[in-house]
Amino acid sequence: MSSSGPEPSASVLDVFRQSVAEIIARSLEIPIETAYDGVDLGKKGVDFTVAIPRFRRPGKPQELGKKIEQEFSPNDYLERLVVDGVFAHFYCNSKALTRLTLDQINELSRPTESAPFGTYGCNSSGRGKKVVIEFSSPNIAKPFHAGHLRSTIIGTFLSNLYSANGWETIRMNYLGDWGKQFGLLAVAFAKYGSEEKLAANPIMHLFDIYVAINKDVKEQEATGHSSVNEEAKDVFRRMEQGDTEMLALWRRFRELSIEAYKKVYQRLNITFDVYSGESLVTTANIDASMQRLRNSNLLVEKFAWESKRDRDYNAVGQQAQDEKPAYAVDLSKWKMSKPVVQKADGTTIYMVRDIAGAMQRYQQYHFDKMIYVVGDQQDLHCQQFFKILELMGEPYASSLQHINFGKVQGMSTRNGEVKFLDEILDMAKEAMLAQMKTNEDKFSNVEDPDFTSDQIGMTCVKIQDMQAKRAGSYPFDVKRMTSFEGDTGAYLQYAHVRLCSVARKVADETTLREDVTTINTDLLVEPKAREVVYHLATYPDAVRMALRVSEPSTIVTYCFRLSHLISSAWETLVVKGQDPEVAQARLYLFTCARHVLSSAMRLLSLTPLERM
């Protein structure tokens, strides 16, 4: 179904869909817009299917189907119609479909200044709209670990996807760069820090000293009091009060961390427009948020006994003597409990910082939509956060969306410590380099084995993450992930490389004509060719569908389906040694298939390879 309306200049299939809609609208006497929205892509060899009952017209759907069938006559775009009960199945004119599809792909795949890889698959449905997408969001001074991987990969895909659908997209990395942990880090650096180690590998050194100081804290807490904790609280208090020395150290840690993260992002083929963070949410906006909550009469008192997680109170339902209440927002009416926004000592917690951050972003960007790409363990927090903004009367509250995802299992080392992303990428890279070396002839033709194996390895990591529905968890399996057997990232890169090799292998006989209008596409009469052409024509639909469901797996599935179709067509659609006109037509088909597979891979943030 296409609810965005026809855009033939972006999707030639819309021309054929429009023709179906005109026939349905005329026979059932309904608006053409209504008919158009009811034209679905077909299955099992059918091009389009219309479910007649959906239009709720008077009379039996079977009789209406017969009426449509009787009034149908072939035209330039549609060659036949088959009515099966309450379904009307339409078949496109194959010659027109092939000619128009390949020519559009060829035209829209040409590089331009604003689109260096072409625009086939893109549309203008989001033109004039702005979306802010927050994703990745690691904690400063801690290594980029596997837990951030899913948010980074899914967030990048969504950013690419919204851009492909015409939206102005702002890619935001909201860093965990404020809080008591920076007090701990400052204390740790004073005790364990090394300027030499900091210069050599800032992230790992800061992580090592952070682990060391936390060990000290645990040992002290076991005795009943932690002087390190008190010292850290004092340092953070000084930071909040604007202490020049402490803020200078914090800025240094932040800048070093961002530079280190950028290297990882560059390796992953990922960029951000904004490096934001908790520290950049202004005190004025935090104070304004609390005042808005008070003015809206949303604050209620909450005592410690009301929280099941509070371990200082053994008797549930009893208020401690002289206890001061915290302040919360009562969302129990919506089964969202009663989240605290201000502690009993008057300090606000991260819920308020999120509220203030959303207000600040709307003031700055005036977005039409803002997306938070965060794991499903934050489901309740996001529901509470969005509901509070709605109750505050914020005009953008309904424009906020939480895109969640499940966990990756098996991402820890044997001793239970977290596995860092560089380790994972290196592991995948080494596995692919070893696999590449098994074929000495092909390996000798690869110009940069190090780069190539790294790209294949990253493709493997990303595809394993994106090929299932994002809400599900999946086991991290390097052996399965880097296999060339089955639907893996390595297989996808191989499919693209093989498409690239076609032109090289036939270069001594034929090269694709610059004037493609002289290529006789009517010679592509084989059923396999028809299957490939139709699938190529549906790529813009796949892009629109992916946006509706926010699922990377939609595009991954499309890529594998195209790769399988191409794989099954090699023996039937031979180029080398054929009649020159037939060879041109088939080379044109494979060239267009390469363009589309490349486009889809780039949408997934992959780098398509030409040799491997």
Q: Say whether pLDDT at 531 is over 80.
A: yes
* 168 inside domain: no
Question: 81 with 89: CB under 8 angstroms?
Answer: yes
Say what the pLDDT of residue 179 is: 82
| Measured distance CA(54)–CA(38) in Å, rounded | 8
352-356, 405-409, 539-543, range with the lowest pLDDT: 405-409
CA–CA separation, 540 and 121 (whole Å)? 4
Give the residue-averaged pLDDT of 23-52: 97
Pairing type for strands 130-134 and 168-175 reads parallel
Using a pLDDT cut of 90, give the percent of the chain over it. Answer: 76
Phi-psi domain of 538 (left: phi exceeds 0; alpha: psi -120 through 50; beta: other): alpha
Spatial contact of 169 and 143, defined as CB atoms under 8 Å apart: no
- Grade residue 347 by pLDDT with cuts at 50, 70 and 90: confident
Strand runs labelled E in 122-203:
130-134, 168-175
DSSP 8-state code for residue 280:
G
Q: Given 59, 92, 125, which residue is the final one in a domain?
A: 92
The answer to whether residues 388 and 476 belong to one domain is: no
pLDDT at 484 over 80: no
Predicted confidence (pLDDT) at residue 4 exceeds the cutoff of 80: no
Quick one: tokens of 199? 């210069």
Looking at residue 204, its pLDDT comes to: 86
- What's the structural domain count of the chain? 3
- pLDDT at residue 324, as a whole number: 85
Beta pairing, strands 130-134 & 369-373: parallel
Whether 142 is catalytic? yes
Same domain, 487 and 581: yes
Per-residue pLDDT, 415 = 42
Shared domain for 428 and 354, answered yes or no, is: no
- Calculate mean pLDDT across residues 351-357: 95
My answer on whether 547 and 462 are in the same domain is yes
The residue annotated as part of the active site, out of 60, 67, 130, 142, is: 142
pLDDT at 99: 98
What pLDDT is stored for residue 315 in this prediction?
39
- Quick: pLDDT tens for 279-338: 999 989 999 999 999 999 999 998 876 665 443 333 345 555 567 889 999 999 999 999
Query: If you average pLDDT over every residue of the chain, what do you get?
Result: 91
Confidence class for position 417, pLDDT limits 50, 70, 90: low
Give the residue from 66, 31, 250 showing the smallest Cα distance to 141. 250
Angstrom distance (rounded) from CA 90 to CA 20: 7
Amino acid at 104: Q
Residue 518 has pLDDT above 50, yes or no: yes
The domain in which residue 577 lies consists of 421-603
User: What's the average model confidence in pLDDT over 39-47?
Assistant: 95
pLDDT reported for residue 310: 43
CATH number at residue 467: 1.10.730.10
Band of the pLDDT at 559, cuts 50, 70, 90? very high
The residue from 92, 114, 133 where one domain ends is 92
Residue 266 CB: number of other CB atoms within 10 A? 10
What pLDDT shows up at residue 419?
67
Q: Which two tokens stand for residue 205?
A: 């050194």
pLDDT score, position 316: 44
Give the C-alpha distances (Å, rounded to integers) separating 163 from 126, 132, 172, 225, 558. 8, 11, 14, 53, 19
Q: Check whether residue 427 and residue 357 sit in a common domain.
A: no
The confidence band for 191, taking pLDDT boundaries of 50, 70 and 90, is very high
Closest CA to 40 of 31, 50, 32, 30: 50
Query: How do 400-403 and 369-373 pair as beta strands?
Result: parallel
* 355 and 430 both lie in a single domain: no
Give the tens place of pLDDT for each residue, 108-117: 999 999 999 9
Rg (CA), the chain: 29
Q: What is the pTM of this model?
A: 0.92
Place 201 in a pLDDT band, splitting at 50, 70 and 90. confident
Averaged pLDDT for residues 428-439: 91
Where residue 18 falls among pLDDT bands split at 50, 70, 90? very high
By the 8 A CB rule, do 555 and 546 touch? Answer: yes
Q: Give the type of residue at 432.
A: M
The model's pLDDT over 218-265, given as tens digits with 9 standing for 90+, comes to 999 999 888 999 999 899 889 888 899 999 999 999 998 888 889 889
Would residue 561 count as lying in a domain?
A: yes
Which of the listed residues 92, 125, 159 is the one where a domain comes to its end?
92
Residue 429 has pLDDT above 60, yes or no: yes
- How far is Cα 129 from Cα 162, in angstroms, rounded to an integer? 10
Largest CA distance in the chain: 95
3-state secondary structure of 502: helix
Query: Helix (H, G, I), strand (E, B), or coil: what is residue 383?
Result: helix
Q: At 243, give phi and psi (nearest 5°).
A: -60, 120
Both tokens assigned to 299: 């604050």
Residue 467 counted as domain residue: yes
- Domain assignment present for 235: no
388 and 434 co-located in one domain: no
Q: Average pLDDT for residues 8-32, to the nearest whole number?
A: 97
pLDDT per residue as tens digits for the range 357-402: 999 999 999 999 999 999 999 999 999 999 999 999 999 999 999 9
Would you say residue 413 has pLDDT above 50? no
Is residue 608 in some structural domain? no
Q: Residue 66 above 70 pLDDT?
A: yes
Q: What CA–CA distance (Å, rounded) separates 482 from 232?
A: 44
Mean pLDDT of the region 200-209: 88
Say if 202 falls within a structural domain: no
Same domain, 453 and 389: no
- Is there a single domain that holds both residue 361 and residue 448? no
Average pLDDT of the residues in 1-6: 62
* pLDDT tens-digit map of 151-182: 999 999 999 999 999 999 999 999 989 888 88
**pLDDT bucket at 94, cuts 50 / 70 / 90:** very high
End-to-end CA separation in angstroms for the chain? 38
Q: Which one from 89, 145, 205, 429 is the annotated catalytic residue?
A: 145
pLDDT of residue 485: 82
pLDDT of 344: 87
pLDDT of residue 311: 39
Is 449 found in the same domain as 504?
A: yes
Question: Please, where are the H alpha helices in 38-148?
Answer: 61-71, 94-108
494, 561: one domain: yes
Q: What is the mean pLDDT of residues 504-514?
A: 95
pLDDT of residue 166: 97
- Same domain, yes or no: 558 and 476: yes
Q: Is residue 527 part of a domain?
A: yes
Catalytic residue among 43, 66, 89, 148: 148
Higher local confidence (pLDDT), 51 or 142: 51
148 catalytic residue (yes or no): yes
Q: Which CATH number fits the domain that encloses residue 44?
A: 3.30.1360.70
Amino acid 501: pLDDT = 96
The predicted structure's pLDDT at residue 2: 44
- Is residue 223 domain-resident? no
